[in-house]
Structure 1
Amino acid sequence: MEYAPTFIANNVLRRAFAENNAINPAKLQAILYFIASEYQKETHEPLFDEPFETLQYGSRLRSVLYEFREFQRDNITRFASDGGTEPPMIHESADPALHRAIERVWDAAKARSVEELSHIIQLENSAWHKSFQAENPYVTSANIAADTTYSRELGLV
């Protein structure tokens, strides 16, 4: 099932805020990438309803960039909003594969620096690396699903 990236971002931010774990937009983007890959490996379906863009230093989801643009390199201090009174999140109990992907990646990545996570995304033969080398503006869903380069680095094997 495909979700709005800002909704999943809120699921991650809920954990970060509950654990008092600082997270800036770049770190959030990296964590979302790893979650998307883990989710797609299990479900064989993309997680997000928008593609990751290929940038020089990693990948990004435009909606997440736009939502948290005010923070730039500062730590995020609020949830993404859709105009309602409650921040939109996905009920993970309704999608156990999503819950497992978020838990695995959050536990593995939360203590890592944004520089470490960026380096891991850029490893040779990663989905980002393949898209960057091919000058593809987007990281393909097939490459995200096939990407295992980060697994050992994050301790997910």
Structure 2
Amino acid sequence: MAVAEPRRLVAVFGYSARSVEGLHPLCVLRLRHGEELADGAEAVVLSGWSRHGAKGGEAELMRDAWCGPDVTLVCDPTARNTMQNAAGVAVLAREVDADEVVVVTSRWHAPRAGALVRAALGGSKLPVRTSSPRGRLQPRLLAREIACLAALPYQLLRVRALRRDESSLRASSSLRSR
């Protein structure tokens, strides 16, 4: 009797800054790291919106820059923050019946991102792990993330509320495959 391959979902969280057009260098690092992890994945979700009001947001820019293996790429161009990234990833994890979720984000962002994805998955026993590209820690971004951690209890409540209203999330998230 053959053992089924695990159904892994890789989720690459975008990053943008007001001063950078196109893919931010941090986002490129995350994307390349996601490409390294994508071999054998059921799907890869690229999550992020357009801060600059451009037609293509981070998700589409990452899809266009994808150099990884030939896997299903799903874009979530509406996720404006980590909480919405997590909610969209949870929807897709359920849709593909994933056995594992790997969240790709920066080291300084990984604890909060992982916690929000776990909360978005609800009481699921689905394993969630984070994986981060190598890179120099930037004190400004670390300080910002520490400030965001103060809001984590509120964000956990909000992402659980989004989970309860998943039908509207699915309709509004515009998840698109390549």
TM more than 0.5: no
TM-score norm. by structure 1 comes to: 0.29
Q: Name the one with the larger strand percent.
A: 2
Structure that is richer in helix per residue: 1
Structure having greater relative contact order (Cα 8 Å, sep ≥ 6): 1
- Scaled by the length of structure 2, the TM-score of the pair is 0.27
Larger radius of gyration between Structure 1 and Structure 2:
2
